[in-house]
Homo-oligomer: A and B are copies of this chain.
Amino acid sequence: MNRKIFNIFSIGFVKRDKDGIFVQINESYRPALKQLDSFSHVIVVWWADKFDNDKNRSILQCAPPYAKDKVTGVFASRSPQRPNPVSITTCKILDVNQEKGLIKIENIDAFDETPVIDLKAYFPVTDRVREPKIPEWLTNWPEWFPDGGIGLED
């Protein structure tokens, strides 16, 4: 089957300032935030715009930072260097202000002004695997999403 191309657009962006870390949603999409405040976590889908170039989008294998001696395919990693630089980060929700379009989150591994393309409430039934298996070279990693979230420093 041939390659198909689709248009994806930003619905907002990551905002980092002295008051914390936020997802700022464009005004026209704010009604889509209704009820998000009844969830503790949200999956932020964002576009790794700094890696959106032909070179990075042609990278298929990498030596991940957590296992530098292991060459893995990018589909077995969370590297932002991949054919489509779509990233997903689970984030703890601290506050939702629907009127202002601001979701205050605990942390995210995206830079200030990174385009956000979707938000999805975290559902245990779809997202929480009871006994996931990972390769032995990753077993020194935490078994759960950390309280402080996943940030740029991780």
Partner-B contacts on A (CB < 8 A): 1, 3-13, 24-26, 29, 31-36, 38-43, 45, 47, 49, 52, 60-61, 70-78, 82-84, 86, 88-90, 98, 113, 115, 117-135, 138, 141-146, 150
Contacts and interface: CB of A to CB of B under 8 A. Distances in A.
A45 B128 CA distance: 16
Nearest to A70: B35
A47 B12 CA distance: 20
12 contacts: A4-B10, A5-B9, A8-B84, A9-B84, A34-B76, A35-B72, A38-B135, A41-B129, A76-B121, A88-B120, A123-B138, A124-B144
Contacts of A122: 129, 132
Contacts of A35: 70-73, 76, 135
B13 A121 contact: no
Given A33-B76, A34-B72, A144 B120 contact: no
B83 A9 contact: yes
Given A5-B8, A32-B61, A33-B75, A142 B115 contact: no
A133 B74 contact: no
